[in-house]
Amino acid sequence: MEHQTDRSPDVERAAQRLSRPHARVALVAKRLVDVVLALLMLIALLPLLALLFVMLTFAGDGWLEQRVRLGRHGRPVVLSRFRELPGGAFGRFLQRIGMRELPLLFAVVRGRLSFVGPRALPPGTGYGHTGPRRLMAPGLTGPAQRGCGHESLDDAYVERWSLWIDVRLLVGRCPKLHHSVSKTSS
């Protein structure tokens, strides 16, 4: 576990902001929305999940492939997605619309991921376990994934986080996040 003295000033600022009562309530609401939305999507897509399992069973190479990414506080998180889908044009269509990523909804339910958050980076990238980004669970989408700017915007996202920013990112809009690089972290 990290000690507060190990935190840089920008991480400390973000941690203090996220620990305020209204921010804590908003974070609970964010988590509740994540779980409810993921469960609703899983229930609605259950027939498609069954079809994908049948397709992958007949392909014979297994169902899932796993990737290790950095989660909250820089801890490794194993994320699963379906293997490349067989079935010719139909399989390519399912891949194009993102069906390989459906198992990530289970990671959202378990709290390993959020719908909106910093990018989930592979271990060894260095940047993934430093800065304010480590205070939040990585997201399926976020400022870096939406092309809103450089990865350092993930830190600005956490520092200025609000439910409104999450809503803007979910509908495909880039919020104005200006990241101020602290002198101690550069």
Question: Given this model, what pLDDT does residue 184 score?
Answer: 39
What is the rounded distance in angstroms from the CA atom of residue 111 to the CA atom of residue 76?
A: 13
Residue 184 placed within a domain: no
Question: Given this model, what pLDDT does residue 35 score?
Answer: 97
Question: Given this model, what pLDDT does residue 150 score?
Answer: 63
First to last CA, the chain: 24
Residue 131 placed within a domain: yes
Question: Given this model, what pLDDT does residue 41 score?
Answer: 96
Query: CB 10: neighbour CB atoms within 10 A?
Result: 21
10-residue mean pLDDT series, the chain (186 residues): 62 87 91 96 93 85 89 89 86 89 94 91 71 87 79 79 88 70 40
Structural domain count, the chain: 1
Residue 11 placed within a domain: yes
Residue 166 placed within a domain: yes
Tell me the residue range of the domain where 93 lies. 4-170
Question: Given this model, what pLDDT does residue 127 score?
Answer: 60
Residue 177 placed within a domain: no
Question: Given this model, what pLDDT does residue 105 score?
Answer: 95
The whole model's pTM is what?
Answer: 0.81
Residue 25 placed within a domain: yes
Residue 70 placed within a domain: yes
Residue 179 placed within a domain: no
Question: Given phi > 0 = left and psi -120 to 50 = alpha, else beta, which region is 180?
Answer: beta
Distance (Å) of CA 80 to CA 35, 66, 90, 179 = 18, 4, 22, 31
